[in-house]
Amino acid sequence: MQRINTIEEYQKEYKHSVENPEAFWAEQAEQFTWQKKWDTVLEWNFDEPNIKWFVGGQLNITENCLDRHLKERGEQTAILWEPNDPNEPARKISYKELHTDVCRFANVLKNNGAKKGDRICIYMPMVPELAIAVLACARIGAIHSVVFGGFSFKSLSDRIHDATCNIVVTADGGFRGAKDIPLKSVVDEALETSPSVKKVIVLKRTNTNVTMKSGRDAWWHDEIALLGGRGEDCPAEIMDAEDPLFILYTSGSTGKPKGVVHTTAGYMVYVDYTFRNVFQYNNGEVFWCTADVGWITGHSYLVYGPLLAGATTVMFEGIPTYPDAGRFWSVIDKHKVNIFYTAPTAIRSLEAMGLDFVKPYKLDSLRVLGTVGEPINVEAWNWYHENIGKKNCPIVDTYWQTETGGIVISPLAGITKTKPGFATLPLPGIQPALMDESGKELIGNNVDGRLCFKFPWPGIIRTTYGNHKRCKETYFDIYKGYYFTGDGCRRDEDGYYRITGRVDDVIKVSGHLLGTAEIENAINQHPDIVESAVVGFPHDIKGWGIYTFVICDHERKDTDNLKKEIIDTVTKYMGPIAKPDKIQIVKGLPKTRSGKIMRRILRKIAENDLENLGDTSTLLDPSVVEEIKIGAIK
């Protein structure tokens, strides 16, 4: 397995990947176990779009994550699990054990009627069984749709419904810091409006009381016991290269989340390649990605990437501040973590807690640090570099998206010269383009534009589940012949890329992508609210905070109660990650004559930039702006 070792090698490999992408990716794909090699490396057009990699190839990704490693590293730890409670023992699951566990649970799924192509929803806490369930789906060719355990019943039921899942895998509850999250009862509520689901398999984790619906619900351990000794063998289903591997929902500008579809072979080749090269992974190293498996980062760099590369991957059930704000650092020392990959928002919040939480720990096992999910500010970058990396660890600021499947712009650890705040250079196979507002590609350096890609890579989104038109319209129609990311970006005098943030109606709150329309839909569930508008505002820790303007259908004098009710409503329907930080009650919203809310104006108000609201003359009723300005929350 070769890897890039110097900047010259990167340049050479990059050039090769652009001049001859098919030969380049075929070379990367050679090392895997294929049931049948591909006939054609790539077929594509960005107009429909129609993107197919390794056409005609047949394989199963779990053979590549598990079976392929058994001979060489069967006894090596595959998953190193650290529980929420530091007094509970950690679990080490070897490649051999993981293989057995995955086969057993795959047989459980089959016994519950699962077949190739079925959609299975996984709504679980961060325990090894979550990774086992994901891999068990892939083993039998069922399409997994993992929903983050922090989402509430409405978000869950929308996602189950959109993918017409027939099975849900969940747990009685999950531990997060001092809290127990009642996952099963959220599932029960979601299933009241999800008739497609026939079976629910429930892991026992918190011993929370749950109601089990007879005929529908079964305990994970009972189902395993039913297999007797016979469950250990489960031949991997043979999949076509372009068979869907998973659906993962991501927020968009409309209220309905998009089910991003990734397929088998291209995703596999891409996450393996990027994992090994970006982090410069060496055999035997311990890799820790702190993301939840409910997000793409957890899919690609907690489960699939590390397992494909035969790494030891750390999975952490808890939160960075429990039992105190030194938890990350204590886990790094405890498990001698070599590569640590987290979000800027976590770094900023731990920085704010002070160095006393860092000082007790040696952190001398660390070799590489990474960040993902949002731009990292220079101050947080320096803090991370000095206090966690002890100025010895390169930082990889990795830019990518749910839709890109894996990292697309990033330094290679220790190889690419870094610049705080810059994701630096495109990985081999990635051809960025910056576009101006008129749709012209900006050539040369020192330019600001909208970030697109002009050639496919194996990990790129294939479709949005059940609605190909939406995929085309969102990503491929805006700039003809290009994939559009939705991000603003600068290319500086050195050709380095710096992501400047979203240019559409989604906001990054603590690294989570949230659609403003989805939050508005949740707020509007409150019986007194007739209309709402959500925008982001810069927030020191979270990156962006949520500012909401709401219109009530009658005057509520008890505004504090009303605000609390709104927050509870959002938590109930969508989840605590979408809780508004600021709520302003208004009489009207700035609308154009055609009834469209002018968010540009609301954003300025939320950012407290009241003097530069721009042209308001096209508004239906410009006087509402004055009223909103007076009540603006600082």
Binding site for ligand WT7 (CB under 6 A): 250, 295-297, 372-375, 397-402, 423, 485-487, 499, 502, 508, 513
**List of E strands, 344-468:** 368-372, 395-398, 432-435, 441-442, 447-453, 463-464
Q: Cβ–Cβ contacts within 10 Å for residue 502, how many? A: 18
Compare residues 201 and 395 and give the one whose CB is closer to ligand WT7: 395
Give least dist CB 616 to ligand WT7, A: 29
Give least dist CB 286 to ligand WT7, A: 21
Compare residues 242 and 374 and give the one whose CB is closer to ligand WT7: 374
Compare residues 508 and 604 and give the one whose CB is closer to ligand WT7: 508
Rounded CA separation 337/288 (Å) = 7
Compare residues 24 and 544 and give the one whose CB is closer to ligand WT7: 544
Give least dist CB 633 to ligand WT7, A: 25
* Residue 383 amino acid letter: W
Compare residues 173 and 298 and give the one whose CB is closer to ligand WT7: 298
Give least dist CB 112 to ligand WT7, A: 31
Compare residues 578 and 619 and give the one whose CB is closer to ligand WT7: 578
Compare residues 363 and 396 and give the one whose CB is closer to ligand WT7: 396
Residue 560, CA distances (Å) to 525, 565, 575 in order? 18, 9, 20
3-state helix, strand, coil in the chain (%, to 5): 35, 25, 40
Q: Angle at Cα 320 formed by Cα 319 and Cα 322, nearest 5°?
A: 70
Compare residues 166 and 274 and give the one whose CB is closer to ligand WT7: 274
Give least dist CB 497 to ligand WT7, A: 9
Element (H, E) at 8: helix 7-19
Give least dist CB 372 to ligand WT7, A: 5
Beta bridge partners, 370, equal 341, 396
Compare residues 60 and 297 and give the one whose CB is closer to ligand WT7: 297
Rounded CA separation 589/74 (Å) = 61
Give least dist CB 489 to ligand WT7, A: 9
Give least dist CB 105 to ligand WT7, A: 27
| Residues 6 or more apart whose Cβ sits within 8 Å of residue 349 | 320, 321, 541
Give least dist CB 177 to ligand WT7, A: 22
**List of E strands, 20-101:** 40-45, 50-55, 58-59, 77-82, 91-94
Compare residues 311 and 499 and give the one whose CB is closer to ligand WT7: 499
- Estimate to the nearest angstrom the gap between the alpha carbon of 467 and the chain centroid: 21
| Residues 6 or more apart whose Cβ sits within 8 Å of residue 284 | 76, 312
- How would DSSP label each residue in 274-319? HHHHHTT--TT-EEEE-S-TTSHHHIIIIIIHHHHTT-EEEEE-S-
Beta bridge partners, 45, equal 50
Place of tokens 């491929």: 476
Q: Cβ–Cβ contacts within 10 Å for residue 414, how many? A: 15
Helix/strand/coil for 132: helix
Give least dist CB 296 to ligand WT7, A: 5
| Distance in Å from the first CA to the final CA of the chain | 55
